[in-house]
Chain A
């Protein structure tokens, strides 16, 4: 049996601009792999998908304790750097939604989210269409939520208010360590 264990699969089948997947982080694992795929825009405008964490009460953590940095690698323009500290989200953590056949793909690793003695770190890679352009963009990103409070889930949402999405799949895996 693989040490990579599927914990949750969430399929988006209705129009929405915010999606919470909770109760996926626990004391069973320290490292999680989240695969976000095929977010389909509901309207004509592509939507930036950012990420926030969720606590065990189901509250989305919107305090200004997210730091991040990402390198964008564009097929049709110069590469660019993005960075910020003390923000209320991990900007573009899941790239952009798109219209079929032009959608998106993402892998995000989350480290120590359930621990109450560690910050929550993330490491991501994605490729999708860049908002407002005709070319594709890959992101390589790092992020940290600089609080030691335990988090139990994620919230993906349309962070630029460009429009809802109505399709997509979010799969969460735990990486088991056998002692």
Chain B
């Protein structure tokens, strides 16, 4: 039945980790990443999103300036914003809003659908649904949008990493949609 999810990879983070890489994409199916209870090591820091590639047998996060993204940033406390750019080295989570983790209960939660990752002749596309608590005003914020990595090559997974911080907690799971 279309819409079934089959687990491909998972990572449960309980200590500081620079880069959570979920690999295992090896078919032309659509894949999806769910992340829940994500926390970072430095209050007010940021998270960033990238694709990964198999480089001589090692899953490697791709950091070239080929990320184009666009999103609407929903905010519970003020007017929404638009977040868009081209030729960047990553998409930041929730428009690079600083993330709050200094109060018990605060964490980040995400859903990312991954398209065309296994196809070496097409770009890799991602739709993003993200939620954080902003550290400046303790407001709920979320990006609804997506990004494309404009290099026609096969990608074997997805990377979530800290900018000026590590990932200190959370469960990250990659599923194949069948």
Query: Which A residues have a C-beta under 8 Å from some C-beta of B?
Result: 2-4, 30-31, 67-71, 81, 83-85, 109, 111-112, 115, 117-119, 121, 123, 140-144, 146-148, 175-179
Contact = CB atoms under 8 A, between A and B. Distances in A.
Chain B contact patch, size range: 35 or more
Interface in B156-175: 171, 173, 175
Say what secondary structure dominates the interface of chain A: strand
User: Which 3 A-B residue pairings sit nearest by Cβ, starting from the closest?
Assistant: A2-B4, A142-B142, A69-B74
B109 interface: yes
Contact of A111 (B6, B37, B80, B139): B37
B63 interface: no
A123 B7 contact: no
A30 B171 contact: yes
A127 B79 CA distance: 22
B74 A4 contact: no
B136 to A, nearest CB: 14
Interface string B104-130: 111101010000000000000000010
A177 B171 contact: yes
A4 B36 contact: no
Interface of B: 1, 3-7, 10, 12, 34, 36-37, 72, 74-80, 104-107, 109, 111, 129, 131, 133, 139-142, 144, 171, 173, 175
A83 B77 contact: yes
A119 B105 CA distance: 5
Main secondary structure of the interface of B (DSSP, over half): strand
Contact of A2 (B6, B141, B144): B6
B161 to A, nearest CB: 21
Nearest to B129: A123
B80 A30 contact: no
A178 B6 CA distance: 10
Contacts of B36: 30-31, 111-112
A177 B109 CA distance: 15
Given A67-B140, A85-B139, A111-B109, A3 B5 contact: yes
Contacts of A85: 76-77, 139-140
Given A112-B36, A177-B10, A119 B106 contact: yes
9 contacts: A30-B171, A85-B77, A112-B109, A121-B131, A123-B111, A140-B74, A147-B105, A175-B173, A179-B10
